[in-house]
Amino acid sequence: MDILSYDFMQRALIVAVLISIITPLIGNIIVLKRLSSVGDALSHSGLAGVAIGLFLGANPIISAVIFSIIAALAIEGIRRSFSAYSEIATAVVLSFGVGIAAVFSGKVPNAANFNTFLFGSIVSISEFEMYVAAVLSIVVIITILILYRELFYITFDEEGAALSGVPVKTVNFIFTILTAIVVSVAARTVGSLVISSLMIIPVACSMIISKSYFTNTILSVVFAFIFTISGLFVSVVYDLKPGGTIVLIGIAVLIILIPFRRK
Amino acid sequence: MSILEVKNLSFSYPDKKILEDVSFEVEEGDFVCIVGTNGTGKSTLLKLILNILKPDSGEIKIKNIPSKQFDKYEEIAYVSQKATGFNKSFPATVREVVSAGLYSKTGMFHFNRAKDKKAVERAIERVGLTEYADKMIGKLSGGQQQRVFVAKALVNDPDMIFLDEPTVGIDIKAVDSICCLLGELNTAGITVIMVTHDISSVLYHSNKVLMLSEDGKANMTDSKTFNSETVMSHLHHNHNKEG
């Protein structure tokens, strides 16, 4: 437990706990709506925001949040234009994010800092970033709790939800903003390239054993917590990238659980 | 007492006229079956009544309130044709799905209380699925899933229930079971308005039949005078017109 005496490790642990709660809360809805690729598109757009933020000398997490929100809104807009081929929207936004990130990554004053956002870095979380992550995470958790019934109804049956008076467009818009926030907050610790995995793998694990929507939500948070904390410690002890370590632990658990899937 | 009034209703899609000058009334306690061949606007008519679609002209009143202004959605319920088309691997229990139906009554910022939970259990009991309340909905048979959606519709104790093809895609035994359930609900005082292809439900359970024809017209008859001969002559008439 000596490693917990380091300030950077305490900060990393706090942010990791928050991320392990907020990513599956969002991931649960994304997976059940069958929109798993949206996480990838937003995380790559967030990366573009990081590159631009570093280029302009602004806080990269805040610029990532702004860029991810713009990307999320763009996905919705493009999806309406190509209603029969809505997956085009995520591919276009993902490509745009990668393009911008690639162009600006060569122009950022500190390339090493940019690289920490690709695969995550526990040592690079500043105190300010920890507070930003904490505030944004609390906003996400409270909003998801308040909209729990609406999100369940929309995810299960969007038409039925609209007919029952659920403000579907407003709730979907809020959820899009929350997704963008989560992607940006998680970028620093687990890395932009593996955020969507952290959204999806805990949910995939919980879907194997859960018996209701409620238990699926709780179990996905439990799985994400176990993967994130264990991955964080393993990465520190063996000097590995935390994002990749967290995801690989998750994949290992998923492989172990698959044979137990109910028919 | 009239619970639903439709007067001179017309509706067209950009490429096709669907309903023209349709008028009819539904009394409290009626069991109305809406029948007609494919494309005659049966589902469209339900969507117009429920304000999901806007009519070109005409007037619709639910409980004497113009449908555009009607907002007592807890008093009416709708089981969509798409209801059973949900993602079968969705991890939701029967109880969770039925609870979602409470939303039209409770609205936002509401946490289910003891009386809400009681309403959910009662609705599940009414459709005979108490022993399945904690089962995942995707694991049930097609007929049982349709019962879950009827329970979701019943959870707010509505006066009127609209159903769009509730017997499509389920086996004949389940069709019979759903029709009997709707008959029981109607006997208990709920007005039932159902789009269906299933003539047996028309003959055994309904008291009125609204027949839509391809020229956009509608004709409401007493189901006692409605028989398979009427249907055949109607279909034959339309077939000759198409020819």
- pTM confidence score: 0.84
From chain B, the residues in CB contact with A163 under 8 A are 50, 52, 73, 78, 80, 104
Q: Say whether residue A211 is in contact with chain B using an 8 A CB cutoff.
A: yes
Sequence-ordered list of residues with C-beta below 8 angstroms from that of B30, at least 6 positions apart, any chain: B3, B191, B192, B193, B207, B208
Fold for A2-262, please state it.
ABC transporter involved in vitamin B12 uptake, BtuC (1.10.3470)
Q: For A124-148, what is the mean pLDDT?
A: 89
- Which chain A residue has the Cα nearest residue B74? A164
The ranges assigned to domains in chain A are 2-262
Average pLDDT over residues A68-96: 84
Do A211 and B109 make contact, defined as CB atoms within 8 angstroms?
A: no
Cα dihedral A16→A21→A25→A31 (10° resolution): 50
> Above pLDDT 70, what percent of chain A?
97
User: Are A164 and B87 an interchain contact pair (Cβ–Cβ within 8 Å)?
Assistant: no
Distance CA(B183)–CA(B202), nearest Å, equals 11
- Please list the pLDDT of chain B residue by residue as tens digits (243 residues): 789 999 999 999 888 889 999 999 999 999 999 988 888 889 899 999 988 889 999 999 999 999 888 877 778 888 887 777 788 889 999 999 999 988 877 777 777 778 889 999 999 998 899 999 999 999 998 889 989 999 999 998 899 999 998 888 777 778 888 888 889 899 999 999 999 887 776 677 889 999 998 888 888 888 877 765 565 555 555 445 444
More confident residue, A220 or B198: A220
Size of interface A-B (CB pairs under 8 A): 74
Task: Annotate B129-196 with DSSP letters as a single string.
Answer: -GGGTTSBGGGS-HHHHHHHHHHHHHTT--SEEEEESTTTTS-HHHHHHHHHHHHHHHHTT-EEEEE-
- Contact list in B for residue A167 (CB cut-off 8 A) is 108
**Residue in chain A lying closest to B90 (CA):** A32
Q: What is the pLDDT of residue B242?
A: 44
- Nearest CB among A146, A163, A213 relative to B91 is that of A213
Quick check: B89 contacting A, CB < 8 Å? yes
The ipTM assigned to this model is 0.82
Task: Check A149 against B100: CB less than 8 A apart.
Answer: yes
Q: Which amino acid is at B131?
A: E
| Nearest one of A229, A255, A21 to A133, comparing CA atoms | A21
Residues of chain B positioned with their CB less than 8 A from the CB of A213:
90-93, 96
Give the residue from A48, A183, A54 showing the smallest Cα distance to A102. A48
The per-residue pLDDT for A36 is 77
Best of A30, A153, A158, A163 to mutate (most B CBs within 10 Å, chain B): A163
CA distance A98 to chain B (A): 32
- In chain B, the residue whose alpha carbon lies closest to the alpha carbon of A29 is B90
Query: Of the ranges A81-90, A205-214, B178-187, which is most confident?
Result: A205-214
- Cβ separation B110–A149 shorter than 8 A: yes
What's the whole-number average pLDDT of chain A?
87
pLDDT level of residue A209 (50, 70, 90 thresholds)? very high
